[in-house]
């Protein structure tokens, strides 16, 4: 097996998607797009109702042409899976219980394990209206069913393909969860920056008589410090806020709009975040 | 919070899905279907291009009529999120890094925790062609991005809604979700409170000529909104900050120390946190 040489290569390998007698070209196109979104490109179609190629499929694929161009057409399901080692069938309905059933996450993990082992793997998706017939399901090794609202359980086939393709891609990511949670790319500022901001605001308020009585002053100052400390502002954010407070503090409302109110002395408005 | 009385009830609760200027009725219909598949039913639409109601939406919804019938239409995004506490924006592109970014699994878990706490939560989805604009992203608290094939990254909006709805449902099945989430024990304020604070500061700065040139104005306003949105201020914090800004805005430095500068008209200093 290849698939480990480069990221690019890995992202075009995976299970073969097999559509059984799809009815609408639009759905086939959207299946191709969903596959491409998650790095799959091997599509097989059993007896498409409206023949092949299909113009509506092409326009619905939104440029996932490589998937449609490479699609193989088969007369029957048995031929379509003849060269595969392991086949999953997707199903919404309860089946007879002869085969193992699992959800998409564990199914994708199992597929990944088999794929790494060198097996050729495929996933079956049934017709829009009636899904897979029992004789078709019987050709599969295991079943996948989706966790859905029981009162509204019918997934569009392109949506079902999307979910399996998505779980396939996720099963190959290093972390189990998914994309690592990226915190904003700035750290909380060193405390002296925060101190500078708070001192500035305190002084500006004080000069306006904001703290009023001596009795209330300590609690008000506690509040002020709490509110400005809690967000863990970054250095850039603090720089920006100091400009805002300078403008409010040092200039009066009367300054004509658009003129250089805060340009001198205080921080000017284009300091700060904007230039990062 | 309700939601624990019966399974039936739980399955119709969850995040509000907000579509920003969707272009195609077919997509709106498929969004409704995807939501219904995973038990969501609260849809808001900002300025749908082709008006509302939309025949194509109805036919694409495949009987998810309850979602479309209950959809609320808004003129602008700000009104559409005014009553929400926490808003996620979905995005394919790299953004400027002002906000935390996570994948759909951890995003859904975070939503679940907030939902259990009683917060009103929403997820934004942008236009088909260009997604969300920066000024719209700036209104959100955090970003979600999907693990996709970098070479074919553009998800259809109904597919993006499907993935988030699916992960939402899964997050409710997952026992891991119940791990207590360490965060401040107060909810972010409903967005209209934040809006009020930002509008107040913008106006006070504008009257001082802070935004200077027309060219720089949009970026400065984006910065301002980003800095005030990022901390997810609670209602009490916002109340307190509005008092601070009122004092700075409406009273001059000349007021004698200790006298009742801000006592009339503006908020007085002892409003807010101190009384909690």
Closest partner residue to B104 among A178, A232, A248, by Cβ? Answer: A178
Does any domain span residue A184?
A: no
Residue A55 phi, psi dihedral angles, 5° rounding: -60, -40
Both A158 and A198 in one domain: the answer is no
Q: Nearest residue on chain B to A13, judged by CA atoms?
A: B149
Query: Residue B138's CB: how many other CB atoms inside 10 A?
Result: 24
**Is residue A76, in this structure, part of any structural domain at all?**
yes
Most confident of A55-59, A211-215, B127-131: A55-59
Domain shared by B161 and B238, yes or no: no
Interchain proximity B148–A37, CB inside 8 Å: yes
Assess if residue B34 is contained within a domain.
yes
- Domain end (from B123, B147, B178): B178
Q: Do B147 and A178 touch (CB under 8 A)?
A: yes
* Cβ neighbours of A119 (radius 10 Å): 14
pLDDT at A272 over 70: no
For residue A185, give the chain B residue with the closest CA.
B97
What does the pLDDT look like over B122-154, one tens digit per residue? 999 999 989 999 889 888 989 999 999 888 888
- B30 contacts in chain A (CB < 8 Å): 156
Cα B218 to Cα A19: distance, rounded to the nearest angstrom: 49
pLDDT recorded at residue A95 = 63
Say which of B156, B204, B219 has its CB closest to residue A248: B204
**B110 and B145 share a domain?**
yes
Decide if the complex's ipTM is over 0.85. Answer: no
Per the CB < 8 A criterion, the answer to whether B12 and A122 are in contact is no
pLDDT class of B254 with cuts at 50, 70, 90: low
B165 & B61 share domain: yes
Picking from B152, B178, B204, the residue at the C-terminal end of a domain is: B178
Name the minimum distance, in Å, from the CA of A242 to any CA of chain B: 12
Share of chain A above pLDDT 90, in %: 54
pLDDT at A202: 93
Residue B183 lies in a domain: no
Out of B36, B62, B220, closest to residue A274 by CB: B220
CB pairs under 8 A between A and B: 257
Same domain, B36 and B132: yes
B166 and B209 both lie in a single domain? no
Residues A200 and A242 in one domain: yes
CA distance A194 to B245: 18
> B248 vs A30: CB contact, 8 Å cut-off?
no
Q: pLDDT band for A68, please (50, 70, 90 cuts).
A: very high
Q: B210 and A269: CB-CB below 8 Å?
A: yes
Q: Considering its fold, how many domains does chain A have in total?
A: 2
CB B39 within 8 A of CB B19: no
Among A75-84, A170-179, B153-162, B253-262, the range scoring the smallest mean pLDDT is B253-262
Whether residue A121 contacts residue A86, with contact meaning beta carbons closer than 8 Å, is answered with yes
Is residue B144 situated within a structural domain? yes
Of B178, B207, B222, the residue at which a domain comes to its end is B178
A153 and A227 together in one domain? no
Residue A147 shares a structural domain with residue A231: no
Residues A108 and A195 in one domain: no
The shortest CB-CB distance from B36 to any of A152, A183, A220 is to A152
Residue A108 scores a pLDDT above 90: yes
Across A6-10, A111-115, B130-134, least confident range: A6-10
For residue A176, being part of any structural domain is answered with no
Kindly state whether residue A77 falls inside one of the protein's structural domains.
Answer: yes
Whether residues A166 and B146 touch (CB distance < 8 A) is answered with yes
- Tell me which H or E stretch contains B11: none
Contact A207 B255 (CB under 8 A): yes
CA A81 to chain centre: 31
Q: How many Å apart are CA B201 and CA A34, to the nearest integer?
A: 44
Mean pLDDT of B26-38: 96
A219/B274 touch (CB, cutoff 8 Å), yes or no: yes
Q: Is A32 exposed, middle or buried (0-12, 13-18, 19+ CB in 10 A)?
A: buried
Say yes or no: B99 and B236 in one domain. no
Cβ contacts (< 8 Å) between A253 and chain B: which residues?
A: 204, 207-208, 249
Residue of chain B with shortest Cα separation from A165: B148
The terminus-to-terminus CA distance of chain A in angstroms comes to 45
Q: Note whether A269 contacts B211, CB cutoff 8 Å.
A: yes
Distance CA A164, CA A105 (A): 8
Q: Are B111 and B119 in contact (CB under 8 A)?
A: no
**B168 Cβ partners below 8 Å, 6+ apart?**
B14, B15, B38, B40, B108, B111, B112
Closest in A149, A212, A261 to B210, CB measured: A261
β-partners of residue B122 are: B16, B87
Whether residue A180 is contained in a domain is answered as: no
Domain that holds residue B243: 191-275
CATH number, domain with residue A56: 3.40.1280.10
Give yes or no: residues A19 and A54 share one domain.
Answer: yes
Nearest residue in B to A173, CA atom = B147
Distance (Å) from the alpha carbon of A78 to chain B's nearest alpha carbon: 30
């Amino acid at each position: 097996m290849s698939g480990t040489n480069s990221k690019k290569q890995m992202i075009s390998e995976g299970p073969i998607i097999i559509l059984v007698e799809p009815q609408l070209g639009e759905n086939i196109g959207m299946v191709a797009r969903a596959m491409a979104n998650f790095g799959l490109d091997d599509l097989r179609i059993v007896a498409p109702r409206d023949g092949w190629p299909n113009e509506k499929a092409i326009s619905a694929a939104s440029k996932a042409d490589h998937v449609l161009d490479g699609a193989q057409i088969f007369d029957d399901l048995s031929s379509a899976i003849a060269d595969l080692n392991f086949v999953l069938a997707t199903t919404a309905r309860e089946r007879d219980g002869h085969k193992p059933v699992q959800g998409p996450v564990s199914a994708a993990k199992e597929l990944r394990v088999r794929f790494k082992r060198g097996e050729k793997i495929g996933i079956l998706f049934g017709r829009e209206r009636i899904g897979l017939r029992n004789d078709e399901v019987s050709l599969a090794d295991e079943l996948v069913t989706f966790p859905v609202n029981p009162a509204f359980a019918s997934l569009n086939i392109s949506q079902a393909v999307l979910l399996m393709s998505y779980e396939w891609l996720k099963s190959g990511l290093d972390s189990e969860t998914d994309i690592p949670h990226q915190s904003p790319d700035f750290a909380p500022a060193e405390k002296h920056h925060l101190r500078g901001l708070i001192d500035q605001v305190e002084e500006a308020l004080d000069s306006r008589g904001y703290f009023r009585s001596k009795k209330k002053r300590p609690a008000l100052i506690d509040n002020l410090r709490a509110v400005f400390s809690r967000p863990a502002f970054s250095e850039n954010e603090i720089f920006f806020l100091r400009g805002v407070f300078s403008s409010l503090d040092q200039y009066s409302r009367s300054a004509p709009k658009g003129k250089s109110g805060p340009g001198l002395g205080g921080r000017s408005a284009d300091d700060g975040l904007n230039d990062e």
